[in-house]
Amino acid sequence: MTNATVEPDEATRLRNKVVDELCADGTISSPEIEAVMRRVPRHEFTPGARLEKAYDTYAAVITKTDEHGMQLSSVSAPQIQAMMLEQARLLPGMKVLEIGSGGLNAAYLAELVGQDGEVVTVDIDSIVTGRARRLLDEHGYDQVRVVTADAAEPIPDLGAVDVVLVTVGAWDIPPAWISQLKQGGRLVVPLRMRGLTRSVAFTQVTGEQGDYLESESARICGFVAMQGSAAHREELLLINGTPEIGLKFDDGLPADPHRLDNAVTHPRYELWTGVTVGLQELLDTLQMTMAISLPGFCTMAVDEDLDTGLVAPTNKRFTLAAVEDDTFGYLVTRRTEDNKHVEYGVHALGPNAKQLVYKVADVLHDWEGNRRGGPSPVIRVYPANTSDDQIKTDRVIDKVHSRISLSWPSA
């Protein structure tokens, strides 16, 4: 469908290299998606980016930031785009709503649903939709409808769609996304749960108590956050009253955060757990085990310019952590002697540091014995007014418009 003329040989080579890598690592499994990603000239939808950057298999191209450098818009990495297209299970003739525009992904969608299908792409930013409209027209995708709107609200004159594909990070599931789906339709969305983001492919399920969404797959990902009425920011708790140590909570601060005021005046308690992982091992189930098992789960970041050594995380920008009353703890790692693995440890500070360290260590051992290498938890989305007795789950996360449950599959 693209009407691009002669491309540089290097662009074609790099594009094929990206697709070859994604086929080899299993991200691409369908010949239709492979063909589309080989055909559409990705670099022409990332104006201003060097070819090598446009065709970096695992990196996004940032297209807009605010005055503070916060990312507002991007073209997702090829690996993420291919992963979500596979999750969407698109077929010729389908009608698709894309939330979060840019042009390139809409071009992929138009190719996959064909002339008998329909693609509507929506973004809240008129600059983004203007660029998407121009790029789509330049490459022969004038049949794609581009809309500037807050996609958390119903899209006028849309009708029912087969697939809603969200390409911005979402904290909640607005009712409009579900109401615009055909019965049995699919919602693919980068959903943030307790500070962890997963690209989740949902299908509609009809139960005794009504309809809900249930996950078919969930993959680790990262996305620019939604703007508009569905925007949501994590809450930051500064330990010791300075920006040196920050704990980030996705669903509200602890009931009495001031109980942590004196935590750093206590000696740091440390424990190595004996739990080791390979350097390339996927740790999605470890993260979710902690998020489900620890009520005070959060993430920790340390300001490198203010770091006094009170805490010693392996990664100062993002560390899995937990709070319990007047004490906080976090994970650390160290290389093993063979230099092919890392061992997990736990640090904690506060009056009850030893108890929290062993509690977190127990969660790690539970993951090692029962969850490691297994399936992700099943994620279900219920209306916000659903009662507890209608939800069988290991953890419920209450949002504004929905209640999200996380449950481990039966053995």
Would you put residue 36 in left (φ > 0), alpha (ψ -120 to 50) or beta?
Answer: alpha
Q: What is the pLDDT of residue 64?
A: 54
User: Cα–Cα distance between 82 and 90 in angstroms, integer?
Assistant: 12
pLDDT tens-digit map of 309-320: 999 999 999 999
- Angle (nearest 5°) at CA 58 between 65 and 320: 75
Query: Is the Cβ–Cβ distance between 181 and 212 less than 8 Å?
Result: no
The residue length of the chain stands at: 411
Mean pLDDT within 85-113: 96
The per-residue pLDDT of the chain, averaged, comes to: 91
Q: Which of 74, 76, 199, 215 is catalytic?
A: 76
Q: Which residues contact 280 (CB under 8 A, 6 or more apart)?
A: none
- b/e map of 186-203 (b: 16 or more CB within 10 Å)? bbbbbbbbbbbbbbbbbe
User: Cα–Cα distance between 164 and 178 in angstroms, integer?
Assistant: 9
Could you tell me how far CA 334 lies from the centroid of its own chain?
Answer: 27
Residue 217 has pLDDT above 90, yes or no: yes
30 is catalytic: no
Beta strands 118-123 and 95-99, pairing class: parallel
pLDDT tens-digit map of 263-294: 999 999 999 999 999 988 888 999 999 999 99
| Nearest alpha-carbon partner for 188 in 205, 178, 180, 200 | 200
Mean pLDDT within 69-77: 65
